[in-house]
Structure 1
Amino acid sequence: MPHIPYEQEFELYHYGESLCAQMVRVALAEKEISYKSHHLLLNEITRNATNLTPEYLAVNPNGIVPTLVHEGVPVYDSWEIIKYLDVVQPTIGPRLWPTDEAVRGETEDWVREAALRDDAAPARTLGTAIPVVSVPIIQACLKRQPFFHVMWKFRKHPKRERAALFRFLRVRSIPKTISDRAVRTIAVSLSRIEDALAKGGPWLFGDFTQIDIMMMAHFHRLEDVHLGEVLRSEDLPFVAAYWTGLQARPSYKTAILDWHEENWRCSIEQVWGETSSPVLAALCTEVADVRKGVLRPAA
């Protein structure tokens, strides 16, 4: 494990619009932990990126965000970082991991479903479906960069599968089978959240925990990709109230809204403007069907 030079006890390397970075910033805000910010720009977002510099690769050899550095020791993967913060700051802010063993096991299952994991197939979990519906934003960012520049710069990316994906997205779209699967997965996940909230609330496990942080970021992304109307669907009344509650937490503003980034915002405007996503109707239909118990073959 490398030892990273540091100036403050906690330092965070992150990108404003990254789902995983949003989750970690929310956790830091909820735990009332101050940190030194190292804001990076990603290669898929802009030509003037900073996540593959020698300096950052010395912090995170994979060149991805976020990375938390605590007294010189790097911690990787957003869900592991949030667990870590709960251990080192147990008495301030909410406990982000339940102390009850039974609830903790269920929380682990939800976190695996919501995490952006490399070992999960595309669009098979909520954590891998949300990035699929985010592809139009990434494509808009990539297409603003010269073709040969994109092809050339990703040769340096330590994660070869990510390099191949971004090169692919510069010229082609995600296959429709994967897009359709993502819509179905999101609908099933929202229905599952609705059922869980109906048992109590206001949060998924009664108290505010890591899974609520993850949902805050995912729901915000649904708003970004102009699918937010599904969160106010008459088929999901508990989800609607839940989302209102998440948005009311101070951490939503300080850790998510205050970190909006220009390249990302410009791409949202370029792709959708003031219109809804063309996927919205299909997603709302899927939600309605799932709530009615209509089952379709998996994509």
Structure 2
Amino acid sequence: MTPFTISLAALAGFLLIWFLIEKSRRRTHPVTGGLQENINLPHTDEFELYANAFSHCSRKTRLVMAEAGVPYRYHSIDLIETGKYETIGPRYLKVNPSGLVPTLVHNGHPIYESDDILTYVADHASPDAGSLVPTDPAERTEMNRWLESGVISSDDPMENMPARAGSCIPGLTFPVFVTAIRYIPLRRILVGFLFHPDKKRPAFFTASRLFGLRTMLSQKPLQQMMHASRDHMRGHLAQLAQKLESTQGPWILGEQYTLADVTWSCILLRVDETGWLDHFLQDADLAPVRTYYTALKNRDSWKAAITDKAHPIVEKAEADLKKAIATDSKIAKALYG
């Protein structure tokens, strides 16, 4: 063997060893929702929240913390669409081995799954905060029905769109994913092929980075996914409008702001920032939704949880998408036609 061949073989061996070690450090596995009293994590504050600026589920947890008046230390965790695959890095996997955000840590014990976090925080609300859960059993059942409609399953995010508005979120978000990913270096996206457990994500983001919005919107499977999400979401918004009319608002259950409103705040925000809300609200029957959304944005919790935690890449992506819709008729037709 020549010195060059020996060097090449040594380099290949070194890279293989590095990959296997790094792969072992980035293993993920499912977790059970709720408080994990058997796990103790390093912490400095009573409550610490690991979350992402753009993540729908992360936003819900920040809103409920603000509404409940619970102080916490915030750990910003990147997803690839906001910078890098930090959720599958060794440091975060020690906090949440599933590689999902958000995670709330209370006195060192993690609470997994965003809806479990909502109820946990409501149970630990400040005495000065209003109750986020009705005392009346019938109203609590109704709140839970609206909470369930906002669920995004960790196993299948688009499961049961006819029954869940939350399941419509991924399909409606895809255009802004495409405009966001242009700000992420390709080398960071490709890391997903090595370590992300779901290879469809890096494949989608790589294609989006290389081909852009117009080409991605022309792909029939993506069009069908997006249009199914759009049509089902329109139905969910109609149900919301009817509910708001029947209770006379201002909130889903009437006078009391509850966990249902926390969840629907984030649904409407995602529909808004991805360019769909104005399209939907052209329907006069959805006027109560516009009034409701304005009231949600005027709450103090919105500034603390949403406005103050905005991500610059997401803001650029949102502006780019709106510009593309306004200036490119083919993109507008692919979305709304």
Does the alignment pair 1:265 with 2:298? Answer: no
Q: Which residue of structure 2 lines up, in the alignment, with residue 79 of structure 1? A: 115
What is residue 33 of structure 2 aligned with on the other side?
Answer: none
Number of residues of Structure 1 aligned to a counterpart in Structure 2: 279
State the 1:167 CA deviation.
1.7
Q: By percentage of residues, which structure has more helix?
A: 2
> Which moves more between the two structures, 195-204 or 223-232?
223-232
Deviation at 1:169? 4.2
Task: Please tell me whether residue 53 in structure 1 is matched to residue 102 in structure 2.
Answer: no
Give the superposition deviation at 1:282.
4.0
Q: Is residue 46–residue 141 contact of structure 1 (8 Å, CA) maintained in 2?
A: no
Specify whether residues 58 and 273 from structure 1 end up closer, same or farther in structure 2 by C-alpha distance, changes over 3 A only. same
Match of 2:190 among 136, 146, 151: 151
Which whole-Å deviations, capped at 9, do the CAs of 1:98-130 have from their partners, x for residues lacking one? Answer: 222222222222212112113452744210212
2:272 pairs with one of 214, 223, 248: 223
Cα distance in 1 between the residues matched to 2:178 and 2:134: 39
Q: 2:26: which partner in 1?
A: none
What is the rounded CA distance, in whole Å, between the counterparts of 2:133 and 2:311 in structure 1?
A: 30
* 1:171 and 2:225 correspond: no
| Alpha-carbon separation, structure 2, partners of 1:209 and 1:75 | 20
Q: Which has the higher contact order (CA 8 A, sep 6+)?
A: 1
* Residue number among 63, 74, 79 corresponding to 1:37 in the alignment: 74
- The residue aligned with 2:101 is 65
For residues 243 and 334 of structure 2, the distance between their equivalents in structure 1, rounded to whole angstroms, comes to: 23
Instruction: Kindly provide the CA deviation profile for residues 143-165 of structure 1, in whole angstroms up to 9, marking residues without a partner as x.
Output: 444556523334323xx34x423
Instruction: Answer yes or no: is the 8 Å Cα contact 1:143–1:170 preserved in 2.
Output: no
Aligned partner (choices 133, 137, 140) of residue 104 of structure 1: 140
Q: Find the structure with the greater CA-based Rg.
A: 2
> Does 2:273 align with 1:209?
no
Maintained 8 Å contact 1:231/1:243: no
TM-score by length of structure 2 reads: 0.75
- Residues 227-266 of structure 1 mapped to structure 2, 5 A cutoff: 227-229=276-278, 230-231=280-281, 233-266=283-316
TM-score, scaled relative to structure 1:
0.84
Q: 1:20 aligns with which of 57, 82, 90?
A: 57
Q: Return the alpha-carbon distance in structure 2 between the equivalents of residues 253 and 232 of structure 1.
A: 27
Structure-2 separation of matches of 1:190 and 1:278 = 21
Q: Percent identity?
A: 26
Quick one: distance in 2 between partners of 1:126 and 1:204?
Answer: 15
Check conservation: 1:232, 1:239, Cα contact below 8 A. Answer: no
Gap runs ≥5 in structure 2: 1-35, 209-215
Q: Which moved more, 1:14-23 or 1:165-174?
A: 165-174
Q: In the alignment, is the contact (CA less than 8 A) between 2:183 and 2:313 conserved in 1?
A: no
Find the aligned partners of 1:110 and 1:154 in 2 and give their Cα distance: 37
Ranges of 4+ aligned residues in structure 1 off by more than 6 Å: none
Distance 1:216 1:280 in 2: 27
C-alpha distance in structure 1 between counterparts of 2:177 and 2:114, whole Å: 20
